[in-house]
Amino acid sequence: MSLNGKKILIGISGSIAAYKIPVLVRLLVKEGAEVRVVMTDAAKDFVSELTLSTLSKAPVLSKLFDEGAWSNHVMLGRWADLFLLAPLSCNTLSKMAAGACDNLLLATYLSATCPVAVAPAMDEDMWHHPATRANLERLRAYGVQVLPVGHGELASGLIGEGRMAEPEALVAWAARFLEKRGELAGKKALVTAGPTYEALDPVRFIGNHSSGKMGYALAGELARRGAEVHLVSGPVSLPAEPGVHLVKAPTARMMYEACMELADYDIAVMAAAVADYTPVDVSAQKIKKGDGELTLTLRKTDDILAALGARKKNGQLLVGFALETENEAEHARQKLARKGADLLVLNSLNDAGAGFAVDTNKVTLFYRDGHSRDLPLRPKTEVARDIVDAITELF
């Protein structure tokens, strides 16, 4: 892995971990990267502009209204192959999540067209606070790569989570990340996500608890690796990442029709929780509550995964999802064979932290040759990277 010729923009916020950034800049330059630095005023309390400019061989920018800086905040985000904010303080994190723009670093972030990654650094209690978790999840939804923190001695003297990743680890991550960029260029990907809502009347529907987070994370990861991504989404309120073509399909029938129109894919990932049954009759008026029982007649919906499997051509890769509550592995293998998929991703509701309406997932990958691979519990954005790694290997 090499960073030779890569353009790395470093953003430094006010954290004690900023003292490590001269080492990071030196290592990046040693690996052949061209480095630029932008920093907040608070960061200057921890690291010298002179040190950073000497090591990067370029001026350090910090003032939004200094001569040249106003246009540079746009140009830097277009110049860079990667914008790495390290360290990311709790304060700057909250501003990024809210879309604030009161300094040069934030203005550069909001105008950046390159990939953005953050390396948080804060005390353990701040790291575990619900507001911090919510802000990080919002950044992930925007497509920002959130790098894991380390465990060890903190500035407060406590021992725990919250340490910024070490410079050597950041350099290795950047090399791996940029190496994967573009590896799926020229490929067309179809992804489904979210639930479907099957109407009973103008007010009520049959649905499920799917949040769509897994499918949206997969669509974003495929797009970051260069694929042309078409995301067919059920009724969720998540934002699609830049570059992802979003198609709204709230019902099983609409999702089926959208997928059939996009059946010329190279990669299809069926992550949506599509209803298996839909009402035969839909009332034009709200159904009134009566004295007796209400009986619904349901019919099967069209099976999108099976339909794509039946018409799959050479060179197409089809990935299915299964959510099981019993005999998980057996049912997953049967579904993989029955639906004509190349890879099946199994969720089990018996695994804590996996399934619907949570930000983490724990899955098992089942392959057509009979072998399987367990992935650990981790954020859905990281699970998406693992799944796309598996897809790339199969290609």
Give the active site residue among 4, 208, 327, 350: 208
Contact 251, 198 (CB under 8 A): yes
66 is in an annotated binding site: no
Calculate the alpha carbon distances from 223 to 219, 226, 235, 261 in Å.
6, 5, 21, 20
Buried b (16+ CB within 10 A) or exposed e, 299-317: eebebbbbbbbeebeeebb
276 is in an annotated binding site: yes
Sequence-ordered alpha helix ranges (H) in the chain:
21-30, 49-56, 69-79, 90-98, 104-111, 124-128, 130-141, 167-180, 213-224, 252-261, 304-310, 328-339, 380-394
DSSP string, 202-248: SS-EE-----SHHHHHHHHHHHHTT-EEEEEE-S--PPPPTTEEEEE
Closest to 215 measured CA to CA, from 138, 173, 274: 274
248 is in an annotated binding site: no
Instruction: Return phi, psi of residue 246, to 5°.
Output: -100, 130
Q: How many other CB atoms are found less than 10 A from the CB of residue 185?
A: 10
Burial of 26 (0-12, 13-18, 19+ CB in 10 A): middle
d(CA 85, CA 170): 11
Biggest CA–CA distance in the chain, Å, is: 81
- Reading the block at residue 53, the tokens are 């400019």
Burial of 118 (0-12, 13-18, 19+ CB in 10 A): buried
6 is in an annotated binding site: no
205 is in an annotated binding site: no
Annotation marks residue 347 as catalytic: no
- Reading the block at residue 386, the tokens are 């693992």
Instruction: Quote the crossing angle between the two packed helices 104-111 and 90-98, to the nearest 10°.
Output: 40
d(CA 378, CA 361): 6
Q: Which residues are catalytic, by number?
A: 208
Residue ranges for the known binding site for CTP are 276, 286, 321, 335, 339
Residue ranges for the known binding site are 276, 286, 321, 335, 339
